[in-house]
Amino acid sequence: MPDTRDFHMTPAQFRNYGKQVVDWIADYYERVESLPVLSKVRPGEVRQALPHEPPRSGEDFSQLLGDIDRLILPGVTHWQSPKFHAFFPANASGPAILGDLLSSALGVQGMLWATSPACTELETHVLDWLVGMLGLPGKFLSSSAGGGVIHDTASSATLCAMLTARERATQFAANRQGPGGNLAAYTSTQAHSSVEKAAMIAGIGLDNLRLIETDGNYAMNAEALAAAVEQDVREGRLPFFVMGTVGTTSSNAMDPLPEIAEICRRHGLWFHVDAAMSGTAALCPEFRRFQQGVELADSYCFNPHKWMFTNFDCDCFFVADRAALIKTLSILPEYLKNQATESGAVFDYRDWQIPLGRRFRSLKLWFVIRHYGVEGLQYHVRQHVAMAQSFADWVRRDGRFEVVAPAPLNLVCFRFRGSDDDNQKLMDRLNQSGDLYLTHTKLSGCIVLRFCVGQTNTEMRHVEFAWQRIQEEASRLQAETK
């Protein structure tokens, strides 16, 4: 007798369980603000609760969903809680989740135009929309010599920018011969660590990545950049790449893009702009002043998965010269050859990124943009900025605290006027309470608390509550140290 058993989930079962999952998600969003924001589990606790062996026979779906509540949720830090003020946000929204679900359902692998034309063409189209929505230069449009592509993260985008810059500077010899040892790259001491990783992976070497000093506002000192480049030239090295940041991770500092661009132009360097979180602010014309100079950049990236209501992962990477990017990353094994590619009339996005395979990420972005409309996105970004600015005002008015860096958008760096230990204690107690979650950084050698407003559902009452809790814990700390 042939074995005719079937273990698959039927469409009818899927319909039933799928509805349960969607209900679970809606319930989760309704109750997430009542859950402790930072997970309280100890290392190993989640694994300990899991069965040692996988199940021999399939289990009932209701058990799976029950285990999400029982085993998984206690080990989740609730990034989607409106009381999440840590790091930079990784926000999500209904339309993004549904778009992502459809992407999972279609299960498309869009490495080539031919492997699913809609996957490529929707991506091109939505990224062209974003050029207009963010006031980015026309050279990033697909109708010019450039174009945009969705990457998983800003780290990947920066790596691809650096690789392309490396190839351009070596007349595409480094890919064949290795990068040699005399290339030099530049960014500020405040740039995200992903540029260091890029320098490691691209074979540039950390010793050849110059971390340029910053000014009193933690923005790159352009004169120091010029001096470093000139010194390298004098010493026979080959400067090739500069990364400027719109909104640094530590303090949301804005590098002087026009000055940096001028140095790049003078020395023929590739200029990459990392606007991972703060790029979203450019949806609002009044915040575009921070990216002034981006029209002079060779490449640019920002993460809708940080602040633009699009669940992780989604980084938009734009280049002015797509031919250089494609020449850097293109490999064409026999099995991928096809007529569409050979016609030259299509984009094959596998040539614009590190991996071969790619998900249909533009669906969630498309859903977000269509659900909110430009107006809706602008409204919520403005709300976030206004709430953060109110928070900064309250901090300034309480003599026990100080705001320690400019707060141009939705991040406030502040300090309890006490020791580093006091600040650490204050933060630890707040986070352990589960009432909110904020993180720290070091600025000018001191521990500083960072309060970011960017979670999709954060309202003024959450920010007021956070400030009340911060004040309460500060009073308690003061009473203890008296």
Does 154 participate in binding ligand PLP (rule CB under 6 A)?
Answer: yes
Sorted by sequence, the CB contacts under 8 Å of residue 4 that are 6+ apart come out as none
Q: How many CB atoms lie within 10 A of CB 274?
A: 30
In angstroms, what is the minimal distance from the CB of 153 to ligand PLP?
A: 3
Residue among 209 and 474 whose Cβ is closer to ligand PLP: 209
Note whether 245 and 136 are within 8 A (CB). no
DSSP string, 262-293: HHHHHHT-EEEEE-TTGGGGGGSGGGGGGGTT
Segment holding 211, helix H or strand E: strand 209-212
In angstroms, what is the minimal distance from the CB of 87 to ligand PLP?
A: 6
Q: How many CB atoms lie within 10 A of CB 467?
A: 18
Residue among 290 and 467 whose Cβ is closer to ligand PLP: 290
Does 194 participate in binding ligand PLP (rule CB under 6 A)?
Answer: yes
Residue among 294 and 346 whose Cβ is closer to ligand PLP: 294
Looking at residue 98, the DSSP 8-state letter turns out to be H
In angstroms, what is the minimal distance from the CB of 122 to ligand PLP?
A: 21
Does 303 participate in binding ligand PLP (rule CB under 6 A)?
Answer: yes
Q: For residue 239, what are its two tokens?
A: 């400067």
Residue among 249 and 455 whose Cβ is closer to ligand PLP: 249
Does 190 participate in binding ligand PLP (rule CB under 6 A)?
Answer: no
In angstroms, what is the minimal distance from the CB of 466 to ligand PLP?
A: 20
Residue among 246 and 269 whose Cβ is closer to ligand PLP: 246
Q: For residue 151, what are its two tokens?
A: 């990457």
In angstroms, what is the minimal distance from the CB of 355 to ligand PLP?
A: 14
Among the listed residues 245, 341, 353, 423, the single contact to ligand PLP using CB under 6 A? 245
Looking at residue 70, the DSSP 8-state letter turns out to be I
Does 153 participate in binding ligand PLP (rule CB under 6 A)?
Answer: yes
Residue among 119 and 276 whose Cβ is closer to ligand PLP: 276
In the numeric block, the tokens 């989760």 are attached to: 28
Q: Point out which span in 219-227, 269-277, 326-334, 412-420 binds ligand PLP (CB under 6 A).
A: 269-277
In angstroms, what is the minimal distance from the CB of 455 to ligand PLP?
A: 15
Does 277 participate in binding ligand PLP (rule CB under 6 A)?
Answer: yes
In angstroms, what is the minimal distance from the CB of 164 to ligand PLP?
A: 17
Output the CA torsion 451→452→453→455 (10° steps).
-120
Radius of gyration of the chain (CA): 24
- Angle between helix axes 420-433 and 460-481 (nearest 10 degrees) is 130
Distance CA 456, CA 463 (A): 13
Residue among 88 and 467 whose Cβ is closer to ligand PLP: 88
In angstroms, what is the minimal distance from the CB of 149 to ligand PLP?
A: 14
Residue among 116 and 251 whose Cβ is closer to ligand PLP: 251
Residue among 183 and 452 whose Cβ is closer to ligand PLP: 452
Among the listed residues 80, 81, 115, 249, the single contact to ligand PLP using CB under 6 A? 249
- Phi, psi (deg, nearest 5) at residue 177: -105, -5
Distance CA 184, CA 238 (A): 6
Residue type, 153: T
In angstroms, what is the minimal distance from the CB of 72 to ligand PLP?
A: 22
Q: For residue 183, what are its two tokens?
A: 């290339």
Q: Point out which span in 25-33, 45-53, 72-80, 242-250 binds ligand PLP (CB under 6 A).
A: 242-250
Among the listed residues 88, 307, 347, 401, the single contact to ligand PLP using CB under 6 A? 88
* Positions 160 through 179 that interact with ligand PLP (CB under 6 A): none
Distance CA 120, CA 106 (A): 14
Vertex 416: Cα angle to 468 and 287 (nearest 5): 75
Q: Point out which span in 153-161, 376-384, 392-400, 464-472 binds ligand PLP (CB under 6 A).
A: 153-161
Does 192 participate in binding ligand PLP (rule CB under 6 A)?
Answer: yes
Residue among 116 and 155 whose Cβ is closer to ligand PLP: 155
Write 393-397 long-range contacts (CB < 8 A, 24+). Answer: 394/467, 395/467
Does 155 participate in binding ligand PLP (rule CB under 6 A)?
Answer: yes
Q: For residue 110, what are its two tokens?
A: 């869009």
Does 274 participate in binding ligand PLP (rule CB under 6 A)?
Answer: yes
- Angle between helix axes 154-169 and 322-329 (nearest 10 degrees) is 90
Distance CA 209, CA 337 (A): 38
Size of the site for ligand PLP (CB under 6 A): 14
Residue among 277 and 436 whose Cβ is closer to ligand PLP: 277
Sorted by sequence, the CB contacts under 8 Å of residue 240 that are 6+ apart come out as 165, 166, 168, 169, 183, 184, 185, 269, 270
In angstroms, what is the minimal distance from the CB of 248 to ligand PLP?
A: 6
Interacting residue ranges for ligand PLP, rule: CB under 6 A: 88, 153-155, 192, 194, 245, 248-249, 274, 276-277, 303, 315
